[in-house]
Amino acid sequence: MLTTLVSFIVLLLVLIFVHELGHFLAAKLLGVKVEKFSLGFPPKLWSKKIGETEYQLAWLPLGGYVSLLGENPGVEIPPEDQARCFSAKPLWVRAIVVAAGPLFNIIFAVFALWVVNFSAGVQYVLPEVGPVAEESPAQKAGLKTDDMIFLINSHPITSFSEIQEIVDISANAFPGKPITLTVHRPNGEKGEVINLQVTPEKSEWTDLLGDAQKGWTIGVKPRTKPIIDEAIAGKPAQEGGVLPGDIIVSIDGVLTPDWTDVMSVIKGTDVTEEVDGKIVHQKPKPLKVVIDRNGQEVILSLTPVLDPVIQPDGKTGFTPILGLKPRMSIMRRPLSLKDSFFAGVEETWAVSVLTVKTFIRLFQTKISVKVLGGPLMIAEVAGKKAREGLVDFIWVMALISVNLAIINLVPLPILDGGQLLFFLIEAIRRRPLSLRFREACQWVGVTAMVALMILVFYNDIHRWVTRFSGPAVSQVEVVE
């Protein structure tokens, strides 16, 4: 709990400081007087005036602000400070000062991911074949689970993601033409190297945002062996005696050669029915789990528990789990200082695009507002990543920094994006909007932000209440 609280406060203060520092430095460099620099909202915890600026730390760490001379109309400006008044500055100066906050959040994300990539390298999944889809091009060509693809059309392959990239390039250039996969197949002591001719076929799927995508596929998934990396404390597997390194051979008589089989069998034990408009789960029954432990067969009886999950529609559902984490075939590739920087730029761009698309889907009501999270969700994620290590904590800080930048660019009057929209209208009209209109818009913006805060707090509290109250469970056990 303490780790979660501390990591949450550190994350917020760092990101707020970065954002406000952007406004502060831009104002200073462009000759605008900064009256106050505050981390957090009142009441005031500490303050000190250095030069002409008061630096303040406040109790509520959910935001911050930089107070500029002349940004609030109706305040009398001393004659000697007229030239340093924000409202008296040219339009381009005001726009840069306002845009500098979100820009610094983006720059921080690039820098943070640069550090992460250089210190830890980039993750990649080995090009080892997992489940092969029935009647897929891969199955027809003879590709099997555990095959390691290391060449496609004589092009070296080091990660699973490269398989899809090269398949798309080849199939788009030469539709209907087979591609040559060179694989190492574990067969005997040394295995064997074979060439297979695979003809990609067109496929459709939905992405993370539920949008339909089209492309080429050969019908394979990455390999994740059913080897246990961790039995989560307090969950059925750990309490039932599962140990790291155990290999799950079967569950209730169903063989589980891949981790997808393990998940499928466990998930398939969930039996539900609708009673008075409410989903009721059957009480989970014990599962016979056969384990290979250092060559010895171990049989355990484990009863799944229903764990809360956020569904695509934003509602909280429940799925049966044993509390297991598999040993992933994930490797890390070290990067040079230069390559780490460009990788950080690419990741920041990808997160920015995904965030913008998510906001568009929210406005289109294609994604439920119930998926939005507030301070409680951020605190939970921050605490989890902090416990996993500094690199993971910096990584999630970079992602939230991008989100903060995009949110601030939303054209809502109270946000930076709203101010930039006003400046754009002013540039087109060649005169500023009336004070009355801007004040009315500010009230609309404040109302919208208050409504948004109420919504995300409600979502957070609802998730916690649902999580601890648990699902509706029928006490009638299924007898087979």
**Could you please report the per-residue DSSP string of 204-222?**
EEE-TTS-EEEEEE--EEE
185: three-class secondary structure by DSSP: strand
Cβ distance 152 to 166 under 8 Å? yes
pLDDT tens for 108-122 read 999 999 999 999 998
Residue count of the chain, please give it. 480
**For range 202-214, the mean pLDDT:** 78
The verdict on pTM exceeding 0.75 is yes
pLDDT at 474 over 60: no
Cβ distance 413 to 433 under 8 Å? no
Burial of 345 (0-12, 13-18, 19+ CB in 10 A): middle
> What are the φ/ψ torsions at residue 133 (nearest 5 degrees)?
-65, 145
Residue 199 pairs with which residues in a beta bridge? none
- Domain residue extents for the chain: 102-123+339-480, 127-222, 228-328
Phi-psi region of 188 (alpha: psi -120 to 50; beta: other; left: phi over 0): left
pLDDT at 476 over 70: no
302: how many CB neighbours lie within 10 A of its CB? 23
Q: Across 360-436, where does the E strand assignment appear?
A: none
Biggest alpha carbon–alpha carbon distance for the chain: 89
Measured CA to CA, the distance from residue 248 to residue 242 in angstroms comes to 10
Of 20, 71, 128, 347, which one is the catalytic site residue?
A: 20
| Residue in the structure block whose two tokens are 């008589």 | 253
- 239 as an active site residue: the answer is no
| Equal fold, 127-222 vs 228-328 | yes
pLDDT grade for 314, boundaries at 50, 70 and 90 = low
**For range 225-229, the mean pLDDT:** 94
Fold of 127-222: Pdz3 Domain (2.30.42)
pLDDT value at position 74?
A: 67
pLDDT value at position 110?
A: 97
pLDDT value at position 347?
A: 95
pLDDT grade for 479, boundaries at 50, 70 and 90 = very low
- Is 1.10.1670.40 the CATH classification of the domain at 228-328? no
Sign of the alpha-carbon dihedral angle for 475, 465, 208, 389: negative
* Average pLDDT of the chain, as a whole number: 88
Q: What SS3 string covers 283-343? A: CCCCEEEEEEECCEEEEEEECCEEEEEECCCCCEEEEEECCEEECCCEEEECCCHHHHHHH
